[in-house]
Amino acid sequence: MIDPKFDEERNNADISLLDPSTYKYGLTHIGSSLSEAQMMGATYAIAAAVKYGSKAVKNPYAWAAGEVAANLMMTKYFRNKETAAEVLSAYGEKLLQNADNFDMD
């Protein structure tokens, strides 16, 4: 059974890197933030590749089309990843709720 106080703190937590007391409640939300950081890193990497690659090959339309395609693929990948994480989270919460409803330990 999830402690109601812990559940309330977890749902209202704002994790701060500089405040270790927020880690206990905020770590359950870190997956989404990590995914967003990965997406930002991938976007910056693609932009840097286009910036420096376009200097080597003077066809801006090809590089622009490549950047759009790469960003669309990354967005699709991370959206699917986020959806799968939400499904897994909902499934886990439903299992915990049913275990609580039937007094299972």
Domain ranges of the chain: 31-101
Tokens at 68, concatenated: 């759009």
Tokens at 23, concatenated: 């880690």
* pLDDT over threshold 80, residue 41: yes
pLDDT tens column, 49-67: 888 887 787 787 888 888 8
Rounded-to-integer distance, Cα 75 and Cα 83, Å = 12
Task: Give 28's pLDDT tier (boundaries 50, 70, 90).
Answer: low
* pLDDT over threshold 70, residue 104: no
pLDDT tens column, 64-102: 888 889 889 988 888 888 788 788 888 888 888 888 777
| Mean pLDDT value of segment 37-54 | 84
Task: Compute the half-sphere exposure of residue 52: CA atoms within 13 Å on the CB side of its CA.
Answer: 5
